Amino acid sequence: MIWSNWKLRWMFQFGFLCAMSLGLASSVSGSLSFEIHHRFSEQVKTVLGGHGLPEMGSLDYYKALVHRDRGRQLTSNNNNQTTISFAQGNSTEEISFLHYANVTIGTPAQWFLVALDTGSDLFWLPCNCNSTCVRSMETDQGERIKLNIYNPSKSKSSSKVTCNSTLCALRNRCISPVSDCPYRIRYLSPGSKSTGVLVEDVIHMSTEEGEARDARITFGCSESQLGLFKEVAVNGIMGLAIADIAVPNMLVKAGVASDSFSMCFGPNGKGTISFGDKGSSDQLETPLSGTISPMFYDVSITKFKVGKVTVDTEFTATFDSGTAVTWLIEPYYTALTTNFHLSVPDRRLSKSVDSPFEFCYIITSTSDEDKLPSVSFEMKGGAAYDVFSPILVFDTSDGSFQVYCLAVLKQVNADFSIIGQNFMTNYRIVHDRERRILGWKKSNCNDTNGFTGPTALAKPPSMAPTSSPRTINLSSRLNPLAAASSLFIICFISFVSL
């Protein structure tokens, strides 16, 4: 058996996407790809800085992650697909459970570190917000990096969106049909919202051959960001839900991408996002149910299996790139966690330990990952969705012992379940909006095309190289890192007495 010992790269402040599922917020023919990075990856911390952040992979990361989750509540391509990438190309860097990308907008083009969220619809950038915008962040080296703030008057390709636009949802607040269209989007994290006016400008894309495929899109010029946006997602959010105002819809309307996109969640924190990707003929699929909301990527689960126990029950869950871990409502939470617990041979960790997860177990010399129960969901239509690893492994700060936890949380702030990014690891998830299906296929998310793309129109912040994983010798039976496994190691800052 093999226990992996990658230090987990889930960084929590961009748990804003956990915190809000930026998703689950509402506002008023080719394939496009671009780089996505986790908010607290080493690459991004080099750009935005890690000053004041909890240490990567620590228990404090998970506490922050769960806090924001609660606040927020919410493969190869087919040969006939034309792939089109973001201006930077389709190679990817570190991602974890919360994603963002370098997006270039306007003329001349400017880069923005934009959060990617399948649980919300509107794309907005900080804009004309004077002293209220976060304009820089401190790097780990103590340097301050300037963040771009969008200014419509400085982009030659920018134009205003008036109140008579079909995309203007707040016409009743307009003084006249030719007034600037206002917008307001609220997130479930208390007090978190973005307000401003809608604008139109160019987003820069390119083909594999380097041919520009720019598209005019409508997005929010955010003049005010409140709540968590003072700390996270400070440079904008790209909503990817099913709505006319969402970027995927506008790329289809512009004729540069078909109505589908994929997000790939690699085992080692690498991934891709590809617009126009309809997946492959051998992927597994299930229809989108539209039960929770027509704008979300929710599916029907007809049964699930934990180890050898099958639970026949039907419920709906939404796949959300903006939520870090998986949240289940009752009675499904208890059914899954209880059956998992009954099949685990290891000693359960004392409840006095301050952990966000309820079911944690102490690793000993006899612990064996192969003996842990597997978790699998059967989707409507009969396709099986096998979770690569439902657990996370924690290392004590002094190295005296280690534990693993079932990374599932009880959903009490909403009446629906969420499949978070930890259950999407090792999959390319295809959001085929045209066919109304969700597809998945096992993938390590490597860039098989090797396409690096043309020189950027606007150079984004440089990203630091990925650090090497830390090797931990657990016991004579627990082997070092295996690339095929999806079990991650993270560190506890401290434990209370068992």
The two beta strands, 488-491 and 6-7, are parallel
What percent of the chain stands above pLDDT 90? 43
Q: How far apart are CA 229 and CA 194, in angstroms?
A: 8
Instruction: Give the model confidence (pLDDT) of 238-249 as tens digits.
Output: 899 999 999 999
Amino acid letter, 340: F
User: In whole angstroms, what is the distance from residue 378 CA to residue 205 CA?
Assistant: 37
pTM as predicted: 0.78
- What's the pLDDT tens digit per position in 165-187? 999 999 999 999 999 999 999 88
In this prediction, residue 181 carries a pLDDT of 97
Kindly report which listed range (211-215, 304-308, 395-399, 411-415) carries the lowest average pLDDT score.
395-399
109 to each of 91, 150, 155, 423, 456, how far by Cα in Å? 20, 10, 8, 36, 9
320 domain-assigned: yes
Asked if the model's pLDDT at residue 432 lies above 90, the reply is yes
Answer whether residue 147 shows pLDDT above 70: yes
Query: Is residue 321 situated within a structural domain?
Result: yes
Q: Which long-range contacts (CB under 8 A, 24 or more apart) does 307-315 make?
A: 307/339, 307/340, 307/343, 307/373, 307/374, 308/343, 308/373, 309/339, 309/343, 309/373, 311/335, 311/336, 311/339, 315/417
pLDDT score of 250 more than 50: yes
Q: Which pLDDT score, from 0 to 100, does residue 322 have?
A: 80
Percentage of the chain exceeding pLDDT 70 = 65
289 has a pLDDT exceeding 50: yes
Contact 431, 321 (CB under 8 A): no
**Please, are residues 166 and 150 in contact by the beta-carbon 8 Å criterion?**
no
DSSP string, 415-453: SSEEE-GGGTTTEEEEEETTTTEEEEEE-----TT----
Q: Average pLDDT for residues 21-28, to the nearest whole number?
A: 49
Point out the least confidently predicted range of 156-160, 209-213, 225-229, 474-478. 474-478
* pLDDT value of residue 249: 94
Range 89-109 average pLDDT: 67
pLDDT at 486 over 70: no
**Which candidate in 117, 277, 298, 395 is catalytic?**
117
DSSP lists the bridge partners of residue 42 as none
Helices (H) and strands (E) counted in the chain, each on its own, are: 5, 32
Whole-number pLDDT of residue 469: 29
Pick the closest to residue 105 from 192, 20, 34 (CA basis).
Answer: 34
Residue 402's closest CA among 468, 338, 478?
478
Buried b (16+ CB within 10 A) or exposed e, 44-70: bbbbbbbeebbebbbbbbbbbbbbbbb
pLDDT: is 278 or 286 the higher one? 286
Q: What is the mean pLDDT of residues 209-219?
A: 89
Instruction: Check whether 490 has a pLDDT greater than 50.
Output: no
- Of residues 67 and 289, the one with the higher pLDDT is 289
How sure is the predictor about 68, in pLDDT bands with cuts at 50, 70 and 90? low
95: left (phi over 0), alpha (psi -120 to 50) or beta: beta
Establish if 467 belongs to a structural domain.
Answer: no
Contacts of 145 (CB under 8 A, 6+ apart): 47, 48, 49, 136, 137, 138, 139, 461
355-413 pLDDT per residue, tens: 889 999 999 989 998 889 999 999 999 999 999 989 988 876 666 788 899 999 999 88
Supply the pLDDT for residue 179.
Answer: 95
Give the count of domains, the chain.
Answer: 1
Report pLDDT for 35: 46
Report the alpha-carbon distance of residue 5 to residue 2 in Å, rounded. Answer: 9
Cα dihedral 274, 277, 283, 285, rounded to 10, equals: 100
**Measured distance CA(3)–CA(123) in Å, rounded:** 40
Confirm whether 346 is a catalytic residue. Answer: no
| CATH number of the domain residue 173 falls in | 2.40.70.10
The mean pLDDT of the chain is: 75
Q: Residue 203: pLDDT band by 50, 70, 90 thresholds?
A: very high
Q: 121, 180, 320, 395: which is the annotated catalytic residue?
A: 320
The predicted pLDDT at position 483 comes to 21
Q: Is residue 36 in some structural domain?
A: no
Residue 356 has what pLDDT? 85
Per-residue pLDDT at 26 exceeds 70 = no
Lowest mean pLDDT among 37-51, 204-218, 454-468, 474-488: 474-488
State yes or no: pLDDT of 497 exceeds 70: no
Q: Is residue 46 part of a domain?
A: no
Q: Which two tokens stand for residue 429?
A: 């998830």
Name the pLDDT band for 136 (thresholds 50, 70, 90). Answer: confident
Is 223 within the bounds of a domain? yes
Domain of residue 368 covers 53-442
- Evaluate whether residue 464 is within a structural domain: no
Q: Is residue 380 part of a domain?
A: yes
Active site residue 259: no
> Of the given ranges (158-162, 181-185, 392-396, 431-435), which has the lowest mean pLDDT?
392-396
Are 388 and 376 within 8 A, CB to CB? no
pLDDT, greater one: 310 or 114: 310
Question: At which residue do the structure tokens 């087919």 appear?
Answer: 78
Q: What is the pLDDT of residue 381?
A: 97
Q: How far apart are the first and last CA of the chain?
A: 27
